[in-house]
Amino acid sequence: YTRLPSGEEYAIPIDRKWEFHRGNLELGETLGEGAFGQVRKGYAIGLWGRLDPIIVAVKMLKNDATEKELNDLVQEMQILMTIGHHINIINFIGACTENGPLYVLVEFAPYGNMRDFLKAQRPQQHFSSGYEMPLHRPLLPDNREAKPLTYKDLVSFSYQVARGMEYLASKKVIHRDLAARNVLVAEDYVLKICDFGLTRNVAQNDYYRKTTDGRLPVKWMAPEALFDRKYSTKSDIWSFGVLLWEIFTFGGTPYPSVPIENLFQLLRDGHRMEPPPCSTIEMYQVMLRCWKYLPADRPTFSDLVQTVDNILSKAM
């Protein structure tokens, strides 16, 4: 049984093997907050037979959460539990479901979301050929000096996200909100897609909903998702194209000055974003394939894995 802050108790269906003893978890700082939930850093003792505490991310509800929000978190946990392991997704570790609030333990990614990570490492001057090194050495969040990101690093990021998405698609999971803000950066620059288990119902009047940094998630949406609410792996492919654009602009904001009403018309008219200065023509061509108006004309994630792998093997 888990308890809502209101005091009500709910039984959570979970295989015993995933239960983590609450007493062995120490909670740390808040990593992030969403509308109904929050993510905190946690130190898990005795995990995987290890003696040292393992740092995890703990997803939990906020104090004013309702039963519906608990259901959503449970549903997210169930997807995490059943989906299996892949290096390019945030993997499930376990959960505390008994004698207190529901805690969902997932892998911790020390460098936070990819968008902020890229922005922090944005070169002062764009390197036009795509092959030159950025000019300054930015700091990572823990004040270690970062190795400047090269074009090859950016292609590798693209490849990793494609691999993670190929895996999710093979498990019939539609992400619905694929964007750099939903990819986390772990040790050794391993990228991990997160928040793929969320249930999302974008209501008509929700088009103006903004992210915490004021950006509009509709700018990642495929036309058919935007106009007809038809979400599929193909609409994830469109979003992947926007994510590529984010990577090659070091966390740029798509269609920065375009109001939503104009966005609708622009997409219908076949307008697409310009090639980012740090991109190459081949990477831009990948973006354009993802932004084909008709879903059936877009590539699959397996196609993309192959294409980007080819580009990666040629990159210096």
Q: Catalytic residue numbers?
A: 177
Structure tokens at 23: 């007493």
- Neighbouring C-beta atoms of residue 233, cutoff 10 Å: 20
Which CB, 19 or 116, lies closer to ligand ACK? 116
Least Å distance, CB 146 to ligand ACK, is 16
Beta-bridge partner residues of 190? 186
Residue type, 137: R
Which CB, 161 or 184, lies closer to ligand ACK? 184
> Is 59 one of the annotated binding-site residues?
yes
Q: Where are the strands (E) in the chain, listed by range?
A: 2-3, 9-10, 25-33, 37-44, 54-61, 92-96, 103-107, 183-186, 190-193
Residue type, 170: S
Which CB, 90 or 165, lies closer to ligand ACK? 90
Question: Rounded to an integer, what distance in angstroms lies between the CA atom of residue 18 and that of residue 90?
Answer: 16
Which CB, 24 or 212, lies closer to ligand ACK? 212
Give contact residues for ligand ACK (rule: CB under 6 A): 31-32, 39, 57, 90, 106-109, 112-113, 116, 184, 194
32 three-class SS: strand
Kind and range of the H or E run holding 83: helix 67-83
Least Å distance, CB 41 to ligand ACK, is 7
Least Å distance, CB 91 to ligand ACK, is 9
Helical pair 281-290 and 301-314, crossing angle rounded to 10 deg? 180
Cα angle vertex 47, ends 167, 143, to 5°?
75
Residue 33 has φ and ψ, to the nearest 5°, of: -135, 140
Structure tokens at 18: 């995933």
Length of the chain: 316
Question: Rounded to an integer, what distance in angstroms lies between the CA atom of residue 232 and that of residue 302?
Answer: 15
Which CB, 72 or 107, lies closer to ligand ACK? 107
Task: Name the percent of the chain in helix, strand, coil, to the closest 5.
Answer: 40, 15, 45
96 three-class SS: strand
Residue type, 260: I
Q: Which residues are annotated as a binding site?
A: 59
Q: Which residues are annotated as a binding site for ATP?
A: 59
